[in-house]
Chain A
């Protein structure tokens, strides 16, 4: 394959959502490059190469698909932390959430989210949306320089 598939970081606490999301991404062979985080804290550990991710290869993922409602540290807090971190602030972040709340939208855009996608209830639509996301961010989109390092695999 000439197409370079880069790592997608998926922060999602609900295993069913994870499964369905991976199912959607699997259709385009994108599922193998997905690393799933169970909450915000784990996400930040991963990004900072801390905790159980101390040993991981350095480098940022191509995109972070971020759910808002998560235990311990929610998506908004994660986004805020990323945008205020020198090493991480250019990381593309896409909110992938059930919330259509205006407040969440406004806050996310204010914090500099790259895209905001509401998970459609209809599974077909959901699959379609996730597929497009995966393809766009993991394949089409040119990542910022700092993200490329981790992709040499």
Chain B
């Protein structure tokens, strides 16, 4: 059993050894090979089929000294582990092997054999070297990579490795980076958590993840990272590039793009507002580009129309097509700028006036490459020009047809326009004066002291008006065929530009020659009239004086002889009464009576004369008061008369009290006198208030008169009754008439013989 077990164990060992990958050997101290396996032969280059037992172990040491050292160590320790030997195959090929050996001793402790295994380390070593080399290579790559690279703990608690770029990007040295907690490098610590979540969600790999890291100086760096979760190593491996600048550039680019697009928008808008479109014709590709406004002008859209020189032509008005072709051709051939006016019939059927302008762009070799230009819709302007032309024509017409003579000067006073009416009154033609006549240099204006007025128009922008006597033959510097002499009421007003500067003056004349002549005539007539009035007044004054003198004479000289007659008659009577017969005495009495009568006549006549001459002293006069005084006085003078007075309340008038007193005295006196024959005399006094005058009246029931003689009533010395019947001089009513007349009133009367009379007089209301 033991033998069998031993044999089985021996068999198992043998199998194990045989297929072991390591070489196995058992050797005596003398170097005789006791046992080996196939790997032994393979590694050392023997035929694996050949049994080498009993053969002397080949010297496979490359350096013989190495064997001694090996044996010494083996003997000293009894075993040796992982001992590297530079060995050689039997064909001399160098190999490296790693040996594990031990001494096998007997019971007595005597050295029996050496057993060991070895593995071919050459391949391993080569791999290791290659690995080392590769690592160096990768390290170099890692170190010198232009991307930041790092390895950190998964939890971010420390940086395990970083490369140079990493440090550069974040402004850290390698030493400062290593061991540093990963998360502190994040601009926002939360970002790391987000990243981790994303990382895990994407199966442990993140590509081109944009992160914001914090540099040492506190700046935020934008990086684009690729991160890999490495669970075996317990690390995160990442690379990143600094895109801060790129970001910045991107942002700047975006901004400038935005600005450009905005500008473009604005340009578009501006073009739209200005109705100017732009275009570009690539002469090499024949491609035509239009701005939005150009499309709009043509009434098309980029969707429904592709512009080209030929296609555009179909919108040109037939009459302008030839010019269109010719102009472009001319520009291309001569290089001269394009400037044409065209009419378009747009896609939407509108007729438009356009102004096209363009310029050829050449390349360095002088080859025309592009034709760029603008297209402007000038329909409005054309229309305005038309309107302007119309309104100009309209104004010209008005000016020309105006009956008001007028002309227009420029800012220097030089005549630039004159209308027909003005030519006509001045008897000149347009050719005589346009561009030649200057109002500021006009000698007639200067002679009449009107230059300062004219200057005020041009210098101060004022409007002036003056009268000028103009005789064209006196105008210096002009030789006119006809002569005109006129008086002009002249108005000059300035026309100013938007800055208030005087650009023109409009001179309007009113021909007032006729009027002035008429006025002069009137003046002359007036003067004559005045002269005549003066003369007449003088005459009147003279005759008044004469009248005064006459009155004086009457008063003085006529009365004197009368008095003398009276005086001598009286003396005759006194001294010679006894010598006179009765008849003689009667004569003397008659002489006396006539003298007395003449005295009364003279006095009345004088008074009448005075009422016409003396000045009126007017005031408010209460007629009631006057009438009361007069009636009282009349009653006193006629105590035996029975008179019924009927008086309504009278109005006040504006007049001469003394004169009005005389009026009432005469009228009421007459009424009393001519009712003398009535038993029951009735005298009525009243007033009618008319619109413009007050009509006073005195009505009596006296003897009246025949209306046939009414016209004689108010004449001087006119009497309708005999002196024997009713005394009186015939002066009273003449006085009434004269006084009322002097008050601006009238007198009249109504009567019937034996029935009574009504006497009226009116006084105008105040």
| Chain A residues within 8 Å of B, Cβ to Cβ | 14, 16-17, 20, 23, 68-69, 97-102, 119-124, 126-127
Contact = CB atoms under 8 A, between A and B. Distances in A.
B554 to A, nearest CB: 10
B599 A121 contact: yes
Interface string B592-632: 00011011001100100010001000000000000000000
Contacts of A97: 556
B563 A124 contact: no
A102 to B, nearest CB: 7
A11 to B, nearest CB: 15
Contacts of B560: 14, 16-17, 98, 119
A20 B555 contact: no
A16 B569 CA distance: 13
Contacts of A20: 563-564, 567-568, 571
Nearest to A23: B571
B52 interface: no
A3 to B, nearest CB: 25
Contacts of A120: 563
Contact of A98 (B556, B567, B568): B556
A39 B454 CA distance: 76
A31 B610 CA distance: 37
Interface of B: 551-552, 555-557, 559-560, 562-564, 566-571, 595-596, 598-599, 602-603, 606, 610, 614
A23 B557 CA distance: 21
A99 B557 CA distance: 9
B614 A98 contact: no
28 contacts: A14-B560, A16-B568, A17-B563, A17-B564, A20-B564, A20-B567, A69-B556, A98-B555, A98-B559, A98-B560, A99-B552, A99-B556, A100-B555, A100-B603, A101-B551, A101-B555, A119-B563, A120-B563, A121-B562, A121-B598, A121-B602, A122-B595, A122-B596, A122-B599, A123-B567, A123-B571, A126-B567, A127-B570
B181 to A, nearest CB: 140
A124 B570 CA distance: 8
B569 A123 contact: yes
Contact of B563 (A69, A98, A99, A100): A98
Contact of A102 (B564, B567, B570, B614): B614
A122 to B, nearest CB: 6
B616 to A, nearest CB: 14
A100 B605 CA distance: 12
Nearest to A97: B556
Contacts of B556: 68-69, 97-99
A50 to B, nearest CB: 28
Contacts of A100: 555, 603, 606
A123 B570 contact: yes
Contacts of B614: 102
Nearest to B614: A102
A127 B566 CA distance: 11
B570 A121 contact: no
A124 B185 CA distance: 162
Residue of A101, A120, A121 with most chain B CB atoms under a 10 A cut-off? A121
Contacts of B568: 16, 20
Nearest to A21: B567
A133 to B, nearest CB: 16
A30 B110 CA distance: 232
Contacts of A122: 566, 595-596, 599
Contacts of A14: 560, 564
Contacts of A123: 563, 566-567, 569-571
Contacts of A121: 559, 562-563, 566, 595-596, 598-599, 602
B585 to A, nearest CB: 16
A84 B590 CA distance: 48
B590 to A, nearest CB: 15
A99 B66 CA distance: 199
Nearest to B571: A23
B610 A102 contact: yes
Contacts of B552: 99, 101
A121 B595 CA distance: 8
Nearest to A15: B564
Contacts of B563: 17, 20, 98, 119-121, 123, 126
B564 A16 contact: yes
Residue of A17, A122, A123, A124 with most chain B CB atoms under a 10 A cut-off? A123
Contacts of A68: 556
A106 to B, nearest CB: 12
A64 B418 CA distance: 91
Contacts of B557: 69, 98
A124 B571 CA distance: 10
